[in-house]
Amino acid sequence: MSPENPWTLFKRPIVALAPMDGVTDRAFRQVVRRLNPEVLLYSEFTSINGIEHSGQVRERLRFENMELPYLVQLFGREPALFAKIAQEISDQGISGIDINLGCPSKRIVQNGNGAALIKEPDLACQIVEATAKATHLPVTVKTRLGWSDAENLIPFAKSLESAGAQLITIHGRTAKMGYRGEADWEPIYELKKALSIPVLGNGDLRGGDQGKGQLKNLDGFMIGRASLGNPWVFWSEEKRAEVTLRDKIEVMIEHLQALLSYQPEHKALIEFRKHLGGYVSGFRDAKVARRELMESQSPSEFTQRALSLVS
Ligand SMILES: Cc1cc2nc3c(=O)[nH]c(=O)nc-3n(C[C@H](O)[C@H](O)[C@H](O)COP(=O)(O)O)c2cc1C
């Protein structure tokens, strides 16, 4: 492993909040950071073409220093444009650039982006190489087991490593599986034996204890869906059991306030809905509470209703 790879110095296990489009926005990252000083944070995946042409898309990358360590995740399929964007964003104080080679959604794949690049390994490597050459920051990759099976995972990841990837995260599903079935971590453990860069496992984790339990030879793990409305997800079961309903309400209000700091009221309330179910689970009459909060017409009404749940 090259001594200049910063991930080799990172405290083990490396624990990360998985990048999620529409979920891991600035507000949620800040809430997660306050409760988890060491968790690695990622932006939502962002199109290099979008960054090139739209100020609104560039907005997605904005962050505050408290979010560090924070990586920007990019998707696209043009090595030269990756290099250009990497150069442009490198001096903005971010911790690294992650390349998405795993998104299986139709909209992404039919344009040859995300998981489609698993079927074009040479191009995927050119993207990693061009990006790594264009920046002083570490370049990382997030991908899946493969397109329809894990047969090529090891040669694919080895070539990404040779192209300059300094850390790789594997979601233990194939692109074809989408989000169906169960994540299989066995090929990820096998992969780690073949690489010298750090490897993170991802898929179906419900919490930090489970992540540590499944770690084996890996360098870390990443949690995605289980974090919705549950920024405590990385904590141990024991510590999570101490989180009170009042704590949940207070963090929920903090989260909404963070959204309001850069979103209009109606948009902030709509964005927040994704997390609502997670926050109120465990409450008596959670369904009723969720519906009442969902129907709030303004942030102050939301806050009032939320506080009344624990008064
Ligand atoms: C709503 C949603 C959005 C996602 N967006 C991204 C993304 O922008 N970039 C990415 O690499 N993966 C994305 N993913 C995949 C997650 O990062 C993660 O790999 C996947 O959810 C499996 O982990 P989990 O079982 O812990 O959720 C997304 C997943 C979900 C559910």
For 174-190, the pLDDT digits (tens) are 999 999 999 999 999 99
Q: What pLDDT score was predicted for residue 284?
A: 85
pLDDT tier at 23 (50, 70, 90 boundaries)?
very high
Asked if pLDDT for residue 21 goes beyond 50, the answer is yes
- The residue-averaged pLDDT of 116-140 equals 98
- Asked if residue 202 has its Cβ within 6 Å of ligand 1, the reply is yes
Structure tokens, 256: 């909404």
User: Is 50 exceeded by the pLDDT of residue 2?
Assistant: no
Mutation test of ligand 1: which of 17, 21, 74, 170 has the most ligand atoms closer than 8 Å to its C-beta? 21
Active-site residue (options: 85, 103, 205, 259): 103
Query: Is the confidence at residue 3, as pLDDT, over 90?
Result: no
Cα 24 to averaged position of ligand 1 atoms, centre (Å):
10
The whole-number pLDDT of residue 104 equals 98
Quote the pTM value. 0.97
Mean pLDDT of 129-143: 98
Which of the four pLDDT bands, split at 50, 70 and 90, describes residue 1?
A: very low
Q: Is 28 in the pocket of ligand 1 (CB under 6 A)?
A: no
pLDDT (0 to 100) of residue 285: 87
Q: Count CB atoms within 10 A of the CB of residue 261.
A: 11
Strand pairing class (70-75; 96-101): parallel
**pLDDT, position 220:** 98
Which candidate, 270, 245, 272, 280, places its Cα nearest to that of 256? 272
The 10s digit of each residue's pLDDT in 242-289 is: 999 999 999 999 999 999 999 999 999 999 999 999 999 988 888 999
- Our mutation pick for probing the ligand 1 site, out of 171, 214, 274, counting the most ligand atoms within 8 A of Cβ, is 171
Per-residue confidence (pLDDT) for residue 197, from 0 to 100 = 97
Whether pLDDT at 154 is above 50:
yes
Report all structural domains of the chain as residue ranges with CATH numbers, in order of start: 6-239 (3.20.20.70), 244-308 (1.10.1200)
Instruction: Tell me the mean pLDDT in the region 12-26.
Output: 98
Whether the pLDDT of residue 129 is over 70: the answer is: yes
Atom of ligand 1 nearest to the CA of 100: 11
Indicate the average pLDDT of the chain. Answer: 96
* Arithmetic mean of pLDDT, 216-238: 98
Q: In the prediction, which pLDDT does 117 show?
A: 98
Is the shortest distance between the CB of 23 and ligand 1 below 6 Å? yes
98 lines ligand 1 (CB under 6 A): no
Any atom of ligand 1 within 6 Å of the Cβ of 45: yes
Per-residue pLDDT for 39 more than 50? Answer: yes
**What's the whole-number mean pLDDT along residues 204-228?**
98
| Cα(114)–Cα(111) distance, integer angstroms | 9
Question: What is the pLDDT averaged over residues 207-217?
Answer: 98
Indicate the top mutation candidate among 46, 205, 225, 227 to test ligand 1's pocket, ranked by most ligand atoms within 8 A of CB.
Answer: 225
Residue owning the nearest CA to atom 26 of ligand 1: 224
- Cα 103 to middle of ligand 1, angstroms: 8
* pLDDT confidence tier of residue 228, bands split at 50, 70 and 90: very high
What are residue 172's phi and psi, to 5 degrees? -75, 40
Closest residue CA from atom 3 of ligand 1: 20
Burial of 116 (0-12, 13-18, 19+ CB in 10 A): buried
For residue 52, pLDDT over 90 is answered with yes
d(CA 235, CA 150): 31
pLDDT given at position 193:
98
Catalytic annotation on 125?
no
**Cα 272 to middle of ligand 1, angstroms:** 18
